């Protein structure tokens, strides 16, 4: 049975959104929250198939709430909000790496617009993590076959990159299997600081952050196509510092597409 969680303090919006889901998915169970606190509590007790979060809740803005939700929930999240540049800028700054939230839904909610998002992210299970096309050089290092054996290595190119993983084009043969742990090299921006006119330190944007030293990321093999020498790797053991560096890198890549995100 499909379960939907809607967090919205506006009764008319709750009713409209609920009706769309019930019309699209007969028998769907719709859970309702009117505060961010209650929304997080319901996520702790059970995982719905999709969440709809309003930008303007009594105790939290939608961006902060979705950021907190992402730590405990990996399903699709749709954001609803009245058209405002502040909303577009907040999404671009904080949730740029997610396809579902990036295409936020304008209020008042319209049947057709919400219906399209339901089809994309719930029915068709469209990729939630936004992938960025890149061409970075990298090196993969596997585990040695036995004591004293050298770890296998191969050079390659990162074809696309996301917070959740990476697609690699290998320069040569490299034995790997699903679930195997691989070390991936990549240069991530360092967390540079700048000073405001009032003397308060703040972190610079990814566009101006300096390049850090080469970073080694642990990843597991999601798939491997030996014929075309390509592989998909999942990031599963990143430290907080590495994750912040990757977010900073992707944020820099997203700046050129910011206007596109705001006008969808």
Summarised one tens digit per residue, pLDDT across range 66-82 is: 999 999 999 999 999 99
Instruction: Return the percent helix, strand and coil in the chain, to nearest 5.
Output: 30, 35, 35
Average pLDDT over residues 207-224: 76
Six token digits for residue 253: 């890549």
Average pLDDT of the residues of the chain: 86
Q: Residue 178 gets which letter from DSSP?
A: T
Q: Which residue has the higher pLDDT, 156 or 261?
A: 156
pLDDT digits (tens, 9 = 90+) for 41-55: 999 999 999 999 999
* 224 confidence band (pLDDT: 50, 70, 90): very high
- Please check whether residue 183 is in contact with residue 214, taking contact to mean a CB–CB distance below 8 angstroms: no
In the chain, the domains with their CATH numbers are 3-129 (3.40.50.2300), 132-258 (2.40.10.220)
Six token digits for residue 73: 């929930």
Average pLDDT over residues 203-228: 71
Category of 77 on φ-ψ map: left (φ > 0), alpha (ψ -120 to 50) or beta: beta
- Please tell me the pTM assigned to this model: 0.77
Write down the H helix ranges in 25-119: 36-45, 62-69, 85-94, 99-102, 111-118
- Counting residues of the chain whose pLDDT is more than 70, the rounded percentage is 85
Six token digits for residue 44: 């702790």
Predicted confidence (pLDDT) at residue 231 exceeds the cutoff of 50: yes
3-state secondary structure of 114: helix
């Amino acid at each position: 049975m499909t379960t939907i969680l809607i967090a919205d303090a506006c009764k008319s919006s709750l009713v409209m959104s609920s009706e769309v889901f019930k019309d699209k998915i007969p028998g769907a169970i719709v859970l309702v929250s009117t505060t961010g606190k209650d929304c997080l509590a319901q996520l702790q007790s059970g995982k719905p198939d999709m969440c709809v979060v309003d930008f303007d809740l009594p105790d939290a803005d939608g961006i902060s709430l979705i950021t907190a939700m992402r730590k405990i929930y990996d399903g699709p999240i749709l954001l609803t909000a009245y058209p405002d540049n502040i909303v577009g800028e907040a999404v671009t700054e904080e949730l740029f790496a997610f396809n579902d939230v990036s295409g936020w839904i304008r209020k008042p909610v319209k049947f057709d617009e919400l219906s399209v998002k339901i089809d994309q992210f719930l029915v068709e299970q469209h990729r939630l993590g936004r992938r960025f096309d890149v061409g970075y050089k990298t090196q993969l290092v596997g585990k040695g076959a036995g004591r004293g054996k050298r770890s296998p290595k191969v050079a390659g190119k990162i074809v696309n990159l996301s917070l959740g993983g990476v697609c690699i084009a290998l320069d040569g043969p490299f034995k790997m299997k699903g679930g195997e742990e691989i070390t991936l090299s990549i240069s991530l921006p360092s967390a540079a600081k700048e000073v405001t006119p009032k003397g308060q330190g703040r972190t610079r944007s990814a566009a101006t952050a300096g390049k850090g030293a080469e970073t080694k990321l642990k990843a597991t093999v999601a798939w491997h196509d030996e014929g075309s020498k390509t592989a998909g790797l999942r990031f599963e053991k990143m430290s907080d510092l590495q994750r912040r560096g990757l977010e900073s890198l992707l944020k820099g890549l997203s700046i050129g597409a910011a206007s596109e995100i705001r006008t969808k």
